[in-house]
């Protein structure tokens, strides 16, 4: 009898189909909106298509981004400052447009269709860019001796049209692909929850495989085989990415969009303000919530009430006016507990999110100060001169090394000590990454101290020349940054997916990407302040044009100190953080 009763309850809740096969318990559906069978959809069987999509898309993106400044200076005949400004503006846009894609995915289209639409825009942009570098009428004229004619407005127009279509396209992919991949694992199944942690590791692994191919093979082709081919091959890989994504459609699990998250947050604020004079009852069961098993928010489980931020609970207080009217359907005057808790979760996540900005500022040194440091070191291997920027390959190699080590070695060991199904919690994992990022700055500072000592011993302080210290001494700092990425960036992916409200996961993923953009801005701000202070009174400053006269080591020590303070703030915030509680 018990077995029959259990089956009847499961049928009522949509967890079993009539043939007795089990459906997912997290509300996921197929493309037509029907409940999906756990045995035939999602899980690892759907992930190769998503990981293949991400790998090819990142290869396409970095195939453009890695060497874009060279194309602007060599082929479009722009100056260094103008080219750098165009690249940073475009890069910043690529990390801001995910907010657009996230809102569309969470509110209206769902992650699948958002990825599909924006991938198409992305491909059109890639093809436009490839045409601008291969069709003569769209290309800037070649230099004649030392005279380099500027590109025409039409040529600039085609080039930047392609570039910003890519920026728009990536805005619909970045915040959705990782979340869509995680959607393939049922939150209500403990076994699938563990697999979801591994998915984020391999997702980041696939990103770096794409980046490795781009920074080596694609960049070489652009420099040696021509830019038309160098931009055309990334466009082909973007087509492969789209084909890979659509190929897995029958196996995917889909989460329904829940309406505009921004609107729901505004409704809570307005409703709580309207009822600011009301008292919140001590018994939280008196607060408003729908009576059926489903949340009023499409695609979301109900959230349990928490005691903090009680001022927002007023939005869920049922007033006498609500009782008299009997109308509980206007969310601008009365919100459910789940809707209130959505906003509380975002507020609780904010301090954790903010600490990621300093980490991103440290990460930004790989493409700035690490490269500057490398240019004044011995870069020769026989007759070959290593480009200073190419040492970032060791960061990618570090990530490719640490992902399988973390997943296969560290997690099983940590699981024995912590008892956590994923070995480390997301917060623990991110904290470890913050600590390793401090070590990377310390390593960079120690290398610079030794480099300056050699410059002083050889009398090269006033000479703007490379110091005879092998550039491979930089490898440890790059390797440590890569290790920090595996802990912090992948931890962020997990954290912002697991802890975000069900119907806001794309938005929270976009917010995590925003830390990268803000980290770059913070790095620029710190650099500006340091330069202004240290050059006062005619001093050369910490970072002069001739680094042999400067103290770049002090800049690295400053970042190490800021990272240490940031880690202390993070520890305090993480200890106070209250985990999401969903039904």
Region 79-107: what's the mean pLDDT?
Answer: 80
Confidence at residue 583, expressed as pLDDT on a 0 to 100 scale: 64
pLDDT at 528 over 80: yes
Angle between helices 190-213 and 43-65 in degrees, nearest 10: 30
Confidence at residue 299, expressed as pLDDT on a 0 to 100 scale: 67
Confidence at residue 391, expressed as pLDDT on a 0 to 100 scale: 82
Confidence at residue 6, expressed as pLDDT on a 0 to 100 scale: 46
Q: What share of the chain is helix, strand, coil (3-state, %, to 5)?
A: 70, 5, 25
Name the one residue in this structure whose structure tokens are 């801005």.
Answer: 521
pLDDT at 229 over 60: yes
Q: 95-99, 138-142, 350-354, 557-561 — which is least confidently predicted?
A: 138-142
Angle between helices 110-132 and 43-65 in degrees, nearest 10: 30
> pTM of the entire structure?
0.81
pLDDT at 281 over 50: yes
Region 192-205: what's the mean pLDDT?
Answer: 84
Q: Identify which has the larger pLDDT, 559 or 513.
A: 559
Instruction: State the chain's mean pLDDT as an integer.
Output: 85
Please give the Cα distance from 69 to 90 (Å, whole number): 11
Please give the Cα distance from 38 to 44 (Å, whole number): 11
Confidence at residue 112, expressed as pLDDT on a 0 to 100 scale: 92
Region 192-197: what's the mean pLDDT?
Answer: 80
Residue 236 CA: distances (Å) to CA of 53, 118, 158, 369: 12, 16, 19, 33
- Decide: 503 and 259 in contact? Cβ < 8 Å: yes
The pair of structure tokens assigned to 373 is 């440091």
pLDDT at 8 over 50: no
Reported as a single tens digit per residue, the pLDDT across 377-409 is 888 888 888 877 778 888 888 988 988 888 888
Region 235-257: what's the mean pLDDT?
Answer: 91
Q: Identify which has the larger pLDDT, 475 or 38.
A: 475
Backbone angles phi, psi at 293, to 5 degrees: -75, -20
Please give the Cα distance from 79 to 81 (Å, whole number): 6
Q: 166-175, 345-354, 535-544 — which is least confidently predicted?
A: 535-544
Confidence of residue 20 (pLDDT cuts 50, 70, 90): low
pLDDT at 81 over 70: no
377-378 and 467-470 strand pairing: parallel
Please give, one letter per residue, the 3-state secondary structure of 57-78.
HHHHHHHHHCCHHHHHHHCCCC
Backbone angles phi, psi at 336, to 5 degrees: -75, 160
pLDDT at 468 over 70: yes
Confidence of residue 53 (pLDDT cuts 50, 70, 90): very high
Region 555-579: what's the mean pLDDT?
Answer: 93
Q: Identify which has the larger pLDDT, 65 or 367.
A: 65
How many DSSP H helices and E strands does the chain contain? 21, 4
pLDDT at 80 over 70: no
- Decide: 316 and 340 in contact? Cβ < 8 Å: yes
Q: 143-152, 177-186, 214-223 — which is least confidently predicted?
A: 143-152
Please give the Cα distance from 260 to 331 (Å, whole number): 13
89: left (phi over 0), alpha (psi -120 to 50) or beta: alpha
Please give the Cα distance from 468 to 465 (Å, whole number): 9
Reported as a single tens digit per residue, the pLDDT across 428-444 is 999 999 999 999 999 99
Confidence of residue 573 (pLDDT cuts 50, 70, 90): very high
Please give the Cα distance from 254 to 114 (Å, whole number): 12
Q: 6-15, 151-160, 428-437 — which is least confidently predicted?
A: 6-15
Backbone angles phi, psi at 42, to 5 degrees: 60, -155
Reported as a single tens digit per residue, the pLDDT across 124-134 is 999 999 998 88
Please give the Cα distance from 166 to 126 (Å, whole number): 7
Task: Check residue 89 and report its DSSP letter.
Answer: H
Backbone angles phi, psi at 19, to 5 degrees: -80, 5
pLDDT at 9 over 50: no
Reported as a single tens digit per residue, the pLDDT across 208-228 is 888 888 878 888 888 788 888
Residue 140 CA: distances (Å) to CA of 159, 160, 218, 362: 10, 13, 22, 37
Region 562-577: what's the mean pLDDT?
Answer: 94
Region 462-480: what's the mean pLDDT?
Answer: 89
């Amino acid at each position: 009898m018990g077995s029959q009763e259990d089956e009847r309850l499961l049928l009522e809740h949509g967890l079993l189909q009539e043939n007795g096969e089990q459906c997912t318990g997290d509300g996921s559906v197929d493309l037509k909106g029907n409940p999906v069978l756990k045995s035939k959809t999602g899980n690892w069987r759907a992930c190769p298509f998503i990981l293949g999509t991400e790998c090819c898309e990142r290869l396409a993106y970095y195939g453009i981004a890695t060497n874009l400044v060279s194309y602007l200076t060599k082929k479009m005949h722009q100056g260094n400052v103008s080219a750098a400004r165009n690249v940073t503006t475009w890069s910043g846009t690529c990390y801001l447009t995910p907010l657009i894609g996230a809102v569309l995915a969470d509110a209206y289209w769902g992650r699948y269709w958002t990825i599909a639409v924006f991938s198409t825009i992305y491909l059109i942009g890639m093809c436009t860019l490839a045409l601008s570098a291969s069709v003569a009428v769209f290309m800037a004229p070649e230099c004649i001796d030392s005279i380099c004619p500027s590109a025409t407005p039409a040529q600039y127009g085609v080039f930047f049209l392609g570039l910003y279509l890519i920026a728009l396209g990536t805005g619909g992919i970045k915040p959705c692909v990782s979340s869509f991949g995680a959607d393939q694992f049922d939150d209500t199944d403990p076994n699938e929850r563990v697999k979801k942690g591994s998915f984020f590791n391999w997702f980041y692994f696939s990103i770096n495989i794409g980046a490795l191919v781009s920074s080596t093979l694609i960049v070489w082709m652009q420099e040696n085989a021509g830019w038309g081919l160098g931009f055309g091959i990334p466009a082909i890989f973007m087509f492969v990415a789209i084909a890979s994504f659509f190929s897995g459609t029958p196996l995917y699990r889909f989460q329904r969009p829940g309406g505009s998250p921004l609107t729901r947050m505004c409704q809570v604020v307005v409703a709580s303000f309207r009822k600011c004079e009301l008292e919140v009852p001590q018994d939280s069961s008196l607060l408003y919530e729908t009576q059926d098993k489903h949340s009023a928010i499409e695609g979301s489980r109900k959230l349990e009430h928490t005691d903090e931020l009680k001022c927002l609970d007023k939005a869920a207080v049922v007033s006498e006016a609500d009782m008299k009217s009997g109308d509980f359907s206007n969310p601008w005057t009365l919100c459910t507990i789940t809707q209130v808790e959505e906003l509380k979760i975002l507020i609780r996540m904010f301090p954790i999110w903010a600490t990621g900005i300093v980490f991103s500022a440290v990460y930004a040194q790989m493409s700035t100060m690490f490269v500057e440091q490398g240019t004044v070191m011995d870069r020769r291997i026989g007759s070959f001169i290593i480009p200073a920027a190419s040492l970032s390959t060791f960061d990618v190699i570090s990530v490719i090394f640490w992902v399988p080590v973390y997943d296969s070695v560290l997690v099983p060991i940590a699981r024995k000590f912590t008892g956590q199904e994923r070995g480390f919690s997301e917060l623990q994992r991110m904290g470890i990454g913050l600590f390793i990022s401090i070590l990377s700055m310390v390593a960079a500072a120690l290398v610079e101290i030794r480099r300056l000592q050699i410059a002083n011993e050889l009398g090269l302080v006033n000479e703007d020349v490379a110091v005879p210290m092998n550039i491979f001494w930089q490898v440890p700092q790059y390797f440590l940054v890569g290790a920090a990425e595996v802990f912090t960036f992948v931890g962020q992916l997990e954290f912002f997916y697991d802890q975000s409200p069900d119907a806001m996961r794309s938005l929270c993923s976009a917010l995590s990407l925003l830390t990268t953009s803000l980290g770059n801005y913070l790095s620029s701000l710190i650099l500006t302040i340091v330069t202004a202070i240290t050059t006062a009174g005619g001093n050369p400053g910490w970072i002069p044009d001739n680094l042999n006269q400067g103290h770049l080591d002090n800049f690295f020590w400053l970042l190490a100190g800021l990272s240490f303070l940031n880690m202390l703030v993070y520890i305090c915030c993480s200890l106070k953080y209250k985990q999401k509680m969903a039904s």
